[in-house]
Amino acid sequence: MSLHLESEPAARVGPPRRGRHGTPSQGRSFRSWFDLRAMPYALVSPYFLLFAAFGLFPLAFTLYYSLFKYDLTGTVEWTGLGNYTKLLADSDFWNAVVNTVAMFAIATVPQLLLALFLANALNKRIRGRLFIRMGVLLPLVTSVVAVAVVFTQLYGRDWGLINWILSHFGVEKIDWRAERIPSWIAISTMVDWRWTGYNAIIFLAGMQTIPKDLYEAAAIDGASRRRQFWQITLPMLRPTLIFVTLISTIGGLTLFAEPTTFYNGNVEGGSVHQFQTVAMFIVKEGFREFNYGYAAAAAWLLFLLILIGALINFLFVRRIGGSK
């Protein structure tokens, strides 16, 4: 209302509207053109300038140098697609791909299911709702490295809490960092501990946009709670599901901090790379062995892997809740 009151006298007092038609002032018409056409671009430009500097440029730069044999301490030499063919034949690279995809699957599937379940529970009328919702989000505010350091101690072979507990059930000491699958599980629990709550809150936000009358109508028709979840909540949640799945795919396939911290900040990921991810492989090649070109090529293959992963998940999630 106040806006309305202000703008009306301004229009009546000044003669700008008539003046614009009367005098052909070049400056003013430029300003009005600038205001109408260019201003929106100028206002959004800071983001795009930053993106160009820190996103697009490195991307193009990486692509360019992936075509060279570029050794930090040596020379730069054109190899064309040589780095890519070498990578596709490199068993260490494929090992890293398998580790990454496996840890992504072990971490993400239970994580999203648990998050969905949590969100559904939090969406009900319960006591201390706000408190519980905040609590679910709490792990997210701790630093990744702090989480990884604590979990690494829990998973210690000789003095770790988890092996100590397992020993009461007659389980032999598990060498969490030497055995492949235990190491994947250990790292997946770190990821899940930190991200389940976050995804639950996103799901919860999505659930709250679903109109209540749908549930009321379903209840009147005699649909059970479970039926309501499958027939109403899940289909209506599809856009949120797609978002969460894409974000988790990107996060899962670029996993780095947890497995690195799990091996004392070492990007080898175990004595025979039991849990070395592709991101760790890139850092190892680029910043431990200084094969910049090779690391750049690996980074582009990771990008492709993420695209493929995201596409598969997108197609998969789109089918959830039947087609419309």
Partner 1 sequence: MMNNPRRGKLLAITAVACLGLAAAACSSSNTSSSGGSSSAPSAAAAPVEIVVDTFGGGSNFGYKNAIEKWNASHTDIKIKEDHRTDQFEQEFWPQMIQQLQAGAGAGDVVGIDEGGMGLAAAHPEWWTDLSKYGLAGREGDYPAYKWGGGKTADGMLFGLGTDIGGMSVCYRSDLFKKAGLPTNRDEVAALWPTWDDFLKIGAQFQAKVKDTKFVDGTNTLYNVVLVQEAAKNGNVMYFDKSNQLIVDKNPAVKTAFDFATKLTQQNLTAKMRNFTPEWSTGTQKGAFAVLGCPSWMLGVVSGNAGDGGKGKWDVANVPGDGGNWGGSWLAVPAQTKHPAEAAKVADYLTSTEVEASIFKDFGNMPSNSKSLADPSVQSATNPFFSDAPIGQIFAKSAAALQPVYLGIKHAQVKNAIESVVQGIDDRSIPFDTSWQKLVDDAVKAAG
User: Where along the sequence are the contacts to partner 1 (CB under 8 A)?
Assistant: 7, 10, 16, 31-32, 34-36, 39, 42-43, 45-46, 49, 72-73, 92, 156-159, 175, 177-180, 264-266, 268, 270-272, 274, 287-291
Using CA atoms, how far apart are residues 86 and 69, in angstroms rounded to an integer? 11
Using CA atoms, how far apart are residues 123 and 219, in angstroms rounded to an integer? 17
Measured from the CB atom, the residue of 287 and 316 that comes closer to partner 1 is 287
Q: Nearest approach, Cβ of 155 to partner 1 (angstroms)? A: 11
Specify whether the CB–CB gap between 272 and 248 falls below 8 A.
no
Using CA atoms, how far apart are residues 189 and 98, in angstroms rounded to an integer? 18
Measured from the CB atom, the residue of 39 and 165 that comes closer to partner 1 is 39
Q: Nearest approach, Cβ of 108 to partner 1 (angstroms)? A: 26
Using CA atoms, how far apart are residues 81 and 168, in angstroms rounded to an integer? 55
Q: Nearest approach, Cβ of 32 to partner 1 (angstroms)? A: 7
Measured from the CB atom, the residue of 52 and 307 that comes closer to partner 1 is 52
Measured from the CB atom, the residue of 148 and 232 that comes closer to partner 1 is 148
Measured from the CB atom, the residue of 32 and 209 that comes closer to partner 1 is 32
Q: Nearest approach, Cβ of 261 to partner 1 (angstroms)? A: 11
Using CA atoms, how far apart are residues 151 and 193, in angstroms rounded to an integer? 10
Q: Nearest approach, Cβ of 60 to partner 1 (angstroms)? A: 20
Specify whether the CB–CB gap between 268 and 91 falls below 8 A.
no
Using CA atoms, how far apart are residues 22 and 16, in angstroms rounded to an integer? 10
* 3-class DSSP string for 79-94: CCCHHHHHHHCCHHHH
